Amino acid sequence: MRRCSICGRRAAVYYQRFSGDYLCSTCLGRRIVRYIRKAFSVNDFSLSPGQHVVLLITPGQSPIARTVYELFRAAERPFTSNIEARLIDAEEPVDIIAAEERAVRRAGEDVVMISSSLEENLLELLTALMKGYDPSLSLPLRRAGRITLFRPFSLVPLMDLYAYAAARGEVEATRPKYLYEELLEVTVTGPELAYSYKRVLRLLGNVRARGESVYQGRAG
Shortest distance in whole angstroms from residue 10 CB to Zn ion: 5
Q: Is 7 in the site for Zn ion (CB under 5 A)?
A: yes
Q: Is 6 in the site for Zn ion (CB under 5 A)?
A: yes
Say how far apart CA 20 and CA 155 lie, in whole Å. 17
Q: Which is nearer to Zn ion, 27 or 90 (CB)?
A: 27
Nearest Cα residue to 150 out of 42, 59, 45? 45
Region of 87 please: left (phi>0), alpha (psi -120 to 50) or beta: beta
For the chain, give the longest Cα–Cα distance: 59
Number of residues that bind Zn ion (CB under 5 A): 6
Q: Which is nearer to Zn ion, 34 or 106 (CB)?
A: 34
Q: What is the DSSP letter of 190?
A: S
Q: Which residues of 113-146 are buried (b: 16+ CB within 10 A; e: fewer)?
A: bbbbbbbbbbbbbbbbeeeebebebbbbbeeeee
Q: Is 97 in the site for Zn ion (CB under 5 A)?
A: no
Q: Is 163 in the site for Zn ion (CB under 5 A)?
A: no
The region of 5-13, 31-39, 163-171, 197-205 touching Zn ion under the rule CB under 5 A is 5-13
Site string for Zn ion, 177-196 (x = CB under 5 A): --------------------
For Zn ion, the binding residues in 16-35 under the rule CB under 5 A are 24, 27
Q: Is 4 in the site for Zn ion (CB under 5 A)?
A: yes
Q: Is 139 in the site for Zn ion (CB under 5 A)?
A: no
Region of 132 please: left (phi>0), alpha (psi -120 to 50) or beta: left
Binding residues for Zn ion, rule: CB under 5 A, are 4, 6-7, 10, 24, 27
